[in-house]
Amino acid sequence: MATEADIRQLKQRHGARLLEHPNVSAVGVERDEGGGYALTVDVRGDAQDLPEELEGHRIRYVTRGPYTKQ
């Protein structure tokens, strides 16, 4: 089970690269179903070419967005 610190570090190492993908609108850290933490990637549209896991941690893809600045 990943800790919040583990996933925050994972986000720091890979977040910018994930955000370069045209269908990625956000990268965050959220609790997963098992009570640990997961890297959550918000996508709009197809995400088939994105990795299923990074450094042994599964990535949770959620269809949300697009977001607008308020």
Domain residue limits at 30: 4-63
- Residue 66 has a pLDDT of 67
- Residue 68 has a pLDDT of 73
Inside any domain, residue 9: yes
Please calculate the CA angle 64-8-18 and round it to the nearest 5 degrees: 50
Number of domains forming the structure of the chain: 1
- Residue 24 has a pLDDT of 93
**Structure pTM?**
0.85
Inside any domain, residue 57: yes
Q: What is the CATH number of the domain that holds 10?
A: 3.30.300.50
pLDDT along the chain (70 residues), means of 10: 96 98 94 94 90 95 78
Residue in 42, 46, 49, 40 with CA at minimum distance from that of residue 63: 42
